Structure 1
Amino acid sequence: CHTDLHTIKNEWSNAMYPVVPGHEVVGIVTDVGRGVKNFKAGETVGVGYFVDSCRTCESCSKGYENYCPTLVLTSNGVDYDGATTLGGFSDVVVVNQDYVVRVPESLPLDGAAPLLCAGVTVYSPMMQFGLNAPGKHLGVVGLGGLGHTAVKFGKAFGMTVTVISSSPGKRQEALEHLGADTFLVSHDAEQMKAATGTMDGIIDTVSAGHPIVPLLALLKPMGQMVVVGAPNKPLELPAYAIITGGKRVAGSGVGSVGDCQAMLDFAGKHGITADVEVVKMD
């Protein structure tokens, strides 16, 4: 995940070295504590972006523990005992059962693992903002880890999906491999102009700095953009770009444990996995 890269390189100035990255964790349960009732040894499970939360704040009480102000991150986080958390590249991890999800048997481990961050990061706002309705037009900005899963979920929801990318070379992957309906090159003024006002919603997954005003022009009146990528530099948003047409911009951070389980169940039902290249540790 690009968040791991941000942390390893200390691009967000928050790395607590030595860092053990990894927050898209799948594996087999080897043992459980006495009070564990939800899981047993031998089952395939997953752990996502966080491993604990306060359980008492408003966000936690409403099922949005991913927005808990004292959220304990799976990697490079601070646990409630003051220890620094070590991520999924550890040999083993011990996690409270309330923050573990069940991986459907139909999903391969390698293809399921990235869904625990990339998958839920796009699935959660699509559900929250109604960008999951059959027949609606969804724009997906960027075709990396998050973007390609957004395309897969959008098509599984029955949506029309347009990929917007700065890389013309990704056209074939978007259209032929992932099944997107159309492809726009973001710096092609004619293509962007022709698509003005055609989209119900946009999921912006890009993690590098980029202009968002041209993207907002693609939205229909009252359209919704959700930013899930995390560029190092601030995005520029002139007021006129959202006042005109009553357009809305929101952010979304991963998803709750419930969101993650619902996403995996949906992925298992529809055969959705992340495209991966397996690299041996040696």
Structure 2
Amino acid sequence: MDTIGYAAQSAATPLAPFHFERRDLRPNDVAIEILYCGVCHSDLHTVRGDWGPQAYPLIPGHEIVGRVIEVGPEVKKYKAGDNVAVGCMVDSCQKCDQCEHGEEQYCREGMTPTYGSPDRVSGEITQGGYSKHIIVREEFVLSVPDGLDLSRAAPILCAGITTYSPLRTWNISKGSRVGVIGLGGLGHMAVKLAAAMGAHVTVLSRTADKKKDAESLGAHELLISTDEEAMEKAANSFELIIDTVPVEHDVNPYTPLLDIDGTLVMVGQVGPIMGPTTVPMIMGRRRIAGSLIGGIRETQELLDFCAEKNVHPDCEMIRMDEINEAFVRMEKSDVRYRFVIDMASLEA
């Protein structure tokens, strides 16, 4: 299939229009016209080579909402006209213990990311959602429930599942005490989702100017992390803290805030962290953990949950040709809280 996207030709060049071929439909494939694609911080890091060398040209984008235009002869779940979504991965081995219990993101052979990774069959490099079309095997296509606004659903596929998965893993429910560090694309979804689960949600911020925003998203309190007295009073306050900060930072001020058996889960920063002191962990059986997106089953559960609870990301719609400006603004945290590309703006 001949199509068009916006690709980086190198780590130093801006994204620009790029014509390319999507693979022919395999028997278990779904062909999708992309309607909307979210813009994730990891898109920026990947195309710039921050996380290692990349195979260029590279089309990013892994928060994809679209409409089925064709299916292979073995596809059973989808038909032309269905509203569907694709997240951060498009394949896995489908046979290891992790895949079999619905956690394909931890596939023993390594899951296949939506862009920048060799296709498991052909070896060609996968290309993402900053494009008009995508072809994905049926098992990695998700159904978008009728209750979701298609134009605002895309960030659920990464920002949403990245924060929903730890909330489910650590059994957050009505009355649970949850802290959220950082109020960007990930953090604002963590607040919305935890609040929708009935948790008591506190946003941790260095300054008081986030209070109004935090409350508008569903948070019950704001804890100022630079206020030593307030931090001391908040000791043992949380069962779970979701740390969405995307850059290296000191976690030591936050671990004493955990209750006995509490967990601080890192979902934002990729790479080394400053050396944590083990004292709060030993003295309270507290832990620092990490979490990577979620499996296909859990992501579908999340989409259904968001439709049921009317949880939508806060989005700013952009045209495809505004993506490079959006990257610059994203680096400055100048977005509330997620850019979404309207693919109708991408000229064929």
TM, length-normalised to structure 1: 0.96
Greater shift in the superposed pair: 203-212 or 44-53: 203-212
Aligned mate of 1:116, from 150, 157, 162: 157
Q: Distance in 1 between matches of 2:132 and 2:73?
A: 22
For structure 2, the residue ranges without an aligned partner over 5 or more in a row are 1-39, 322-348
Aligned mate of 2:137, from 76, 96, 100: 96
Q: From the superposition, tell whether residues 116 and 189 of structure 1 become closer, same or farther in structure 2 (CA, over 3 Å).
A: same
Q: Is 1:271 matched up with 2:310?
A: yes
Residue pair 2:145, 2:304 contacting (<8 A) in 1 also: yes
Greater shift in the superposed pair: 160-169 or 199-208: 160-169
Residue pair 1:206, 1:231 contacting (<8 A) in 2 also: no
Q: Distance in 1 between matches of 2:135 and 2:99?
A: 21
Residue pair 1:106, 1:268 contacting (<8 A) in 2 also: yes
Q: State the SS of the aligned residue for 1:87.
A: coil
**Alignment map for 1:43-54 (pairs within 5 Å):** 43-54=82-93
**Alignment map for 1:200-211 (pairs within 5 Å):** 200-211=239-250
**Structure 1 runs of 4+ off > 6 angstroms?**
none
Aligned letter for 2:112?
V
Aligned mate of 1:31, from 66, 70, 81: 70
Identity %: 42
Q: State the SS of the aligned residue for 2:203.
A: strand
Aligned letter for 2:174?
P
**Alignment map for 1:62-211 (pairs within 5 Å):** 62-68=101-107, 69-80=109-120, 81-130=122-171, 132-175=172-215, 177-211=216-250
Q: Distance in 2 between matches of 1:281 and 1:242?
A: 46
Q: Distance in 2 between matches of 1:98 and 1:231?
A: 28
What displacement does 1:232 show? 4.3
What displacement does 1:276 show? 0.6
What displacement does 1:280 show? 1.2
The count of aligned residue pairs is: 280
- Structure number with the higher strand fraction is 2
Question: Which entry has the higher C-alpha Rg, 1 or 2?
Answer: 2
Q: Deviations over 1:68-94 (max 9, x none)?
A: 132110011221121110000121000
Q: Distance in 2 between matches of 1:36 and 1:141?
A: 42
Q: Deviations over 1:154-203 (max 9, x none)?
A: 1111110000123432221001x112111122222222122111111111
Residue pair 2:238, 2:262 contacting (<8 A) in 1 also: yes
What displacement does 1:124 show? 1.1
Q: Distance in 1 between matches of 2:290 and 2:79?
A: 36
Q: Distance in 2 between matches of 1:235 and 1:206?
A: 13
Residue pair 2:85, 2:143 contacting (<8 A) in 1 also: yes
Aligned mate of 1:41, from 60, 63, 80: 80
Aligned mate of 1:250, from 289, 301, 324: 289
What displacement does 1:14 show? 3.6
Q: From the superposition, tell whether residues 9 and 168 of structure 1 become closer, same or farther in structure 2 (CA, over 3 Å).
A: farther
For structure 1, the residue ranges without an aligned partner over 5 or more in a row are none
Q: Distance in 2 between matches of 1:35 and 1:218?
A: 52
